[in-house]
Amino acid sequence: MVDGFAKLERRVKDAAELVEMVRAEPDPAMEAEIAAELGALQTDVRRMELARMLSGPHDASNAYVSINAGAGGTESCDWAEMLLRMYLRFAERRGWKTSILDYQPGDEAGIRSATFSAEGDHVYGYLRAEVGVHRLVRISPFDANKRRHTSFASVIVFPEAGEDIDIEIREEDLRIDTYRAGGKGGQHVNKTDSAVRITHLPSGIVVQCQNERSQHRNKTFALKVLRAKLYEIEEQKLREQKEALHGEKKEIGFGSQIRSYVLQPYQLIKDHRTGHESGKVDRVLDGDIEDFIESYLLLAGAGKPLQAGTDLPDL
């Protein structure tokens, strides 16, 4: 990465020299060439800065994502399912492999909660930007009077704990229950007790998996999720509760949202941490969230300047 910054700095200096030459002797063709180079430099500087923001100890890891409906009843369950689809579409755009480990349907629509795994390039590094409460404002499709409703759902992301990380899970500390899988899953669902729920008694953590036909495979996946959550707890302790890996815990309701998605009476999605906005709500809800994530990551590292001498010259 140091070499990359050095190359960028040389390109900036070369561009600055060309700018001075054009100012002394105007040349329209040269001005167009310099403008193109400055545009490319801005893109490359942003890409390099983003790469630096993805250099944390867990950023290259795969991740588990949990989505939970909050205040708002059926509306929030529907909103939680919309978020699930958004993240699965985002993962598809990036070429990540995903697998839904647990899916708890709502009573009338949507989901009460869902957990999925994602494998690929810097999965945790990107998705950690999405941790928090997400707020939806729209005319409810479940309200016969067509009133506007506000719904909430929370997103929690934690990195997959590598096999080289020592996390002790004792068999006597676990309560393992099996049950018939519900919701989406195929013809085998509700026919066999393949789903597995594991309760870690010392911590009270509950994880479950119902994605696989095999009870053994569901137990294996559930243990992986449990291991990752326990590792996350240890990380929080080491960091002295400064900034938890899955963000500050907040009530899933008013005043705690990190991002608002307003569909009526106007259309606007705004991230309250960065101020980044988009009126292309359909594209965002279809997984086009790169700009929101990059804005967060770049802002998170705003206190660490690229390097002296990398300011781009004005043409």
Residue-wise pLDDT tens digits, 99-156? 999 899 998 999 999 999 999 999 999 999 999 999 999 998 988 888 889 999 999 9
CA distances from 3 to 8, 121, 297, 302, 310 (A): 9, 22, 22, 21, 14
206-220 residue pLDDT tens: 998 887 778 888 888
Q: Per the structure block, which two tokens stand in for 116?
A: 């999925």
42-92 residue pLDDT tens: 766 666 677 677 878 888 999 999 999 997 789 999 999 999 999 999 999
Q: Provide the CATH topology of domain 63-164+242-275.
A: Alpha-Beta Plaits (3.30.70)
pLDDT band per the 50, 70, 90 thresholds, residue 255 = low
ω into 265 cis (within 30 of 0): yes
- Residue 191 and residue 179 in contact, taking contact as beta carbons nearer than 8 Å: no
Q: Provide the CATH topology of domain 171-238.
A: Double Stranded RNA Binding Domain (3.30.160)
User: What pLDDT does 92 receive?
Assistant: 97
User: What pLDDT does 277 receive?
Assistant: 97
| pTM attached to this predicted model | 0.70
pLDDT band per the 50, 70, 90 thresholds, residue 38 = confident
User: What pLDDT does 145 receive?
Assistant: 85
